[in-house]
C-alpha cells in the first residue's frame, strides 16, 4: 500500500462545514484543529485557503488551490458578494486589520436596546459625558485601546436587507437571549439569518440578574439550534450579561475582540473607497442626510458618492458625535450631506471622480434594471438549468408549515433527497406559521425558494416576493411537495402558470398596412389592453390563435395601454387573419404560487 499523501482541491474560501465534508471528517474535529492553531471559527464561517490547508495537512491531505479561472467564474456568478470582490482585488500587502462591525439581533423583548445602551454609556470611544449626541444608526466604542463599530439598525430584516444588496451587514452578530425566557421564534429567525450570512455568532445571555433566570436550560436550547457553548466543547461563545445592572459588558467586549482577531477582517485604507448605506432620510433644513459605513479606503470631504441610483458631492461630513470631520477610514460610520436623492439602506456606495461619471453609471444601471429584475428569480424549475451551467450547487429553502408536527417529516425527507442528489438542499429556516415578509427577505438574500405546507403567504410577503423575484410555492400534500423538489433536482419540473385576464376588445374593422400586416380596428369592452399582454383571438366561442401584441395604437399614437370604451388598433405577431366580430382577450401569465 502506498504512503503517498493524497492531494485535495480546496477553494480560495470555504465554510468549516464544507471543509469537513471535503476532508471526510467531522466539523468538531476541524474546529478543534482550527482552535489549536489560534483560529476560532464556527461551523458556518468562511476560512481562507491557507487556513484550510493547515487543517488538511493535519488530517493527512495535501491541499491544492482552485485555479484562478474557477475563482473568477464564482465571482461572476454572484457567489462572492460585491464587497468581498472589491476587497479581493486589493493588493494583499496593503490590507490591514480594521475594527470589527457588530450588529445585535434577537427576540424583541430580550433586551437588545438595553444592551446597546449599556455598551454605549460605558465604552463610548471619546469618553464624553452622555456619549452620542445624535442618532445616525451606527457608532464606535473603544475597549482596551481597540475600536469596535456597532450598527444600531434594529432587527434581522434590516441585517438581511443589507446582505441581499451585496453588502456586508456586519462582521460579527451578537445574539441576545434572555436567561429567563430562552430561545423564542424570533431568536430562531435571527439565528437562521446569521448562519445564512456565514457570520460568527456570540451569544449575550441577558437578564442573568432575574430570579427566574435559568442559564443551563437556555444553553441547552441554544445547543439544539446548533450553537453549542464553548464550555460544552462547542464553538459558540456564550457570555452572561445584565444590561440593566451593566454586568458582563467588559466580558462581551473581550469576546468580540477575540472573535475579530481570529477572523480576517481586512481593508486597505489607501484603496478603492466603498462601504454600506446604514440609513438615510430627508432633513427639512439640511436636505438628504445619509449614514455611511466605510469598509475600504478613506472617504474624504468633496468626494462624489454613488449609492444605488442616488449620487452627489459630499458638502459636509459628521461623526457619530455630530462633529464635522474631513475624512473617515475603514469601519468608520459617518453622516454626510450632499446626495441628490435618498439612497436605500443596504446599498453599497462607491466613490467616483466626477458627478458626470456617477450620472453615467446611474443611467446605464436604469437601462439594465428590467433585465436584472428578471434574472434575480431562483425558482424550482430554473434550478436545474443553473446547476447544469455551474451557477449553483445547492438549493436554499425556507420551510413554513401549519403545525410543528409537520416540520420534522418534511425536513427529514428533504435531507434524504439531498443525500441522493448532486445538488445540496440547504434548509435555512423551518418554522410553523404563515409565510411572512421576513421569510421572503431571507430567501432574497440567500437566492432561495420559500416552500409552504398548509399555510398562506401574507399580502405584504406576496408583494415583496414579486418585487424581489422570490419564488413561493404552497402545497397541501407533503408527497407532492417532495415530488416537485425531487423533480427540480433532476431537471424534470416544468413551470406552472395561471392566466389573469386584463381586458377584452371587439374587432370592428380590419386594415391591411404595407410592411406591417393586418391591424384589427377594435373597441375595448372590458378592462384595458396593455402592450405587454398576450392575446387570445376568440371566434365562435373558440380560441383560434394566441400570441403577443406587436403594435398598439390609439388614433395615430403608439400607446402603452388603452382603457375601457376607447378605440384602438391592435397588431399581433405572426397573425393576419382577423375578422370583424372577433373577440380579443388580453391576459398575463403568472407563475404558480406567487
Q: Are residues 311 and 418 in the same domain?
A: no
Q: Which pLDDT score, from 0 to 100, does residue 155 have? A: 57
Q: Which pLDDT score, from 0 to 100, does residue 282 have? A: 83
Residues 6+ apart with CB under 8 A from 141: 119, 120, 123, 124, 125, 147, 148, 150, 253
CATH number for the domain harbouring residue 72: 1.10.10
First to last CA, the chain: 58
Give the C-alpha separation, 197 to 164, whole Å: 10
Residues 6+ apart with CB under 8 A from 556: none
Give the C-alpha separation, 264 to 47, whole Å: 9
Q: Are residues 117 and 30 in the same domain?
A: no
Give me the DSSP letters along 463-480. HHHHHHT--EEEES-HHH
Contact 262, 107 (CB under 8 A): no
CATH number for the domain harbouring residue 152: 3.40.50.300
pTM, to two decimals = 0.56
* Residue at 373 is within a domain: no
Q: Are residues 118 and 256 in the same domain?
A: yes
* Residue at 182 is within a domain: yes
* Structural domain of 207: 99-264
Q: Are residues 515 and 398 in the same domain?
A: no
* Residue at 106 is within a domain: yes
* CA neighbor of 196 nearest in space, from 230, 228, 224, 162: 162
* Residue at 37 is within a domain: yes
Q: Are residues 178 and 255 in the same domain?
A: yes
* CA neighbor of 240 nearest in space, from 180, 153, 150, 170: 180
The sign of the dihedral angle between the CA atoms of 408, 411, 414, 415 is negative
* Residue at 168 is within a domain: yes
Contact 141, 123 (CB under 8 A): yes
19, containing H or E segment: helix 16-22
Q: Which pLDDT score, from 0 to 100, does residue 157 have? A: 54
Give the C-alpha separation, 111 to 210, whole Å: 13
The total of structural domains in the chain comes to 5
Q: Are residues 147 and 207 in the same domain?
A: yes
Q: Are residues 295 and 353 in the same domain?
A: yes
Give me the DSSP letters along 274-309. EEEEEEEEEETTTEEEEEEEEEES-EETT-EEEETT
Q: Are residues 319 and 403 in the same domain?
A: no
Give the C-alpha separation, 539 to 63, whole Å: 69
Q: Which pLDDT score, from 0 to 100, does residue 345 have? A: 77
Q: Which of 208, 232, 264 is the last residue of a domain?
A: 264
* Residue at 375 is within a domain: no
Q: How many CB atoms lie within 10 A of CB 349?
A: 26
How far is CA 167 from each of CA 30, 349, 594, rounded to the nearest angstrom?
Answer: 29, 9, 27
For residue range 290-335, list pLDDT tens digits in order: 999 999 999 999 999 998 888 999 999 999 888 999 999 999 999 9
* Residue at 370 is within a domain: no
Give me the DSSP letters along 60-73. TEEEEEPPHHHHHH
CATH number for the domain harbouring residue 568: 2.40.30.10
Q: Which pLDDT score, from 0 to 100, does residue 371 have? A: 41
Give the C-alpha separation, 266 to 100, whole Å: 9
Q: Which of 15, 46, 80 is the last residue of a domain?
A: 80
Q: Which pLDDT score, from 0 to 100, does residue 364 have? A: 67
Q: Are residues 143 and 256 in the same domain?
A: yes
Q: Are residues 388 and 480 in the same domain?
A: yes
Q: Are residues 127 and 204 in the same domain?
A: yes
Give the C-alpha separation, 106 to 264, whole Å: 25
Please list, residue by residue across 473-508, b when 16 or more beta carbons sit within 10 angstroms of its beta carbon and e when fewer do. bbbeeeeebbebbbebbeeebeeeeeeeebbbbebe
Q: Which of 227, 242, 264 is the last residue of a domain?
A: 264
| Residue ranges of the chain with per-residue pLDDT less than 50 | 1-3, 68-79, 124-133, 368-377, 492-493, 593-594
Q: Are residues 515 and 479 in the same domain?
A: no
* Residue at 29 is within a domain: yes
Amino acid at each position: 500500500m502506498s504512503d503517498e499523501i493524497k492531494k485535495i482541491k480546496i477553494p480560495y474560501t470555504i465554510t468549516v462545514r464544507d471543509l469537513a465534508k471535503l476532508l471526510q471528517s467531522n466539523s468538531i474535529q476541524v474546529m478543534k484543529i482550527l482552535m489549536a492553531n489560534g483560529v476560532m471559527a464556527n461551523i458556518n464561517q468562511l476560512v481562507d485557503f491557507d487556513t484550510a490547508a493547515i487543517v488538511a495537512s493535519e488530517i493527512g491531505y495535501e491541499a491544492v488551490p482552485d485555479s484562478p479561472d474557477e475563482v473568477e467564474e464564482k465571482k461572476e456568478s454572484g457567489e462572492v458578494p460585491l464587497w468581498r470582490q472589491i476587497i479581493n482585488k486589493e493588493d494583499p500587502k496593503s490590507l490591514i486589520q480594521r475594527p470589527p462591525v457588530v450588529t445585535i439581533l434577537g427576540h424583541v423583548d430580550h433586551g437588545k436596546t438595553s444592551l446597546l445602551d449599556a455598551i454605549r454609556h460605558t465604552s463610548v470611544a471619546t469618553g464624553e459625558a452622555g456619549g452620542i449626541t445624535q442618532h445616525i444608526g451606527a457608532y464606535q466604542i473603544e475597549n482596551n485601546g481597540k475600536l469596535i463599530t456597532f450598527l444600531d439598525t434594529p432587527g434581522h430584516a434590516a441585517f438581511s436587507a443589507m446582505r441581499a444588496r451585496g453588502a456586508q451587514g456586519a462582521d460579527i452578530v451578537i445574539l441576545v437571549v434572555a436567561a429567563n425566557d430562552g430561545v423564542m421564534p424570533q431568536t430562531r429567525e435571527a439565528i437562521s439569518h446569521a448562519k445564512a450570512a456565514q457570520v460568527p455568532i456570540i451569544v449575550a445571555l441577558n437578564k442573568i440578574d432575574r430570579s427566574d433566570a435559568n442559564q443551563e436550560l437556555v444553553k441547552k436550547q441554544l445547543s439544539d439550534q446548533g450553537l453549542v457553548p464553548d464550555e460544552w466543547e462547542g464553538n459558540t461563545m456564550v457570555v452572561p450579561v445584565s444590561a440593566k445592572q451593566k454586568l458582563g459588558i467588559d466580558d462581551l467586549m473581550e469576546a468580540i475582540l477575540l472573535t475579530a482577531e481570529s477572523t480576517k477582517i481586512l481593508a486597505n485604507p489607501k484603496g478603492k473607497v466603498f462601504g454600506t448605506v446604514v440609513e438615510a432620510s430627508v432633513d427639512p433644513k439640511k436636505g438628504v442626510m445619509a449614514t455611511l459605513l466605510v469598509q475600504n479606503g478613506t472617504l474624504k470631504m468633496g468626494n462624489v458618492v454613488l449609492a444605488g441610483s442616488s449620487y452627489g458631492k459630499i458638502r459636509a461630513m459628521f461623526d457619530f458625535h455630530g462633529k464635522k470631520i474631513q475624512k473617515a477610514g475603514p469601519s468608520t460610520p459617518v453622516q454626510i450631506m450632499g446626495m441628490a436623492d435618498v439612497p436605500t439602506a443596504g446599498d453599497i456606495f462607491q466613490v467616483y471622480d466626477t458627478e458626470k461619471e456617477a450620472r453615467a453609471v446611474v443611467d446605464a444601471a436604469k437601462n439594465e434594471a428590467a433585465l436584472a429584475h428578471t434574472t434575480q428569480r431562483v425558482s424550482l424549475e430554473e434550478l436545474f438549468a443553473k446547476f447544469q451551467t455551474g451557477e449553483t450547487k445547492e438549493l436554499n429553502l425556507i420551510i413554513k408549515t401549519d403545525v410543528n408536527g409537520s416540520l420534522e417529516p418534511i425536513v427529514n425527507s428533504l435531507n434524504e433527497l439531498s443525500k441522493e442528489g448532486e445538488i445540496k438542499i440547504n434548509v435555512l429556516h423551518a418554522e410553523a406559521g404563515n409565510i411572512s415578509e421576513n421569510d421572503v427577505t431571507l430567501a432574497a438574500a440567500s437566492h432561495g425558494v420559500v416552500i409552504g405546507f398548509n399555510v398562506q403567504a401574507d399580502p405584504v410577503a406576496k408583494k415583496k416576493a414579486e418585487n424581489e423575484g422570490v419564488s413561493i410555492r404552497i402545497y397541501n400534500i407533503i408527497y407532492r411537495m417532495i415530488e416537485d423538489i425531487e423533480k427540480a433536482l433532476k431537471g424534470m419540473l416544468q413551470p406552472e402558470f395561471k392566466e389573469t385576464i386584463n381586458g377584452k376588445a371587439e374587432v370592428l374593422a380590419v386594415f391591411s398596412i404595407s410592411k406591417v400586416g393586418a391591424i384589427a380596428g377594435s373597441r375595448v369592452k372590458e378592462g384595458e389592453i396593455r402592450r405587454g399582454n398576450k392575446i387570445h383571438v376568440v371566434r365562435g366561442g373558440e380560441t383560434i390563435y394566441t400570441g403577443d401584441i406587436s403594435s398598439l395604437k390609439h388614433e395615430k399614437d403608439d400607446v402603452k395601454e388603452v382603457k375601457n370604451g376607447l378605440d384602438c388598433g391592435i397588431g399581433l405577431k405572426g397573425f393576419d387573419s382577423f375578422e370583424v366580430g372577433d373577440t380579443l382577450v388580453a391576459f398575463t401569465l403568472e407563475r404558480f404560487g406567487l
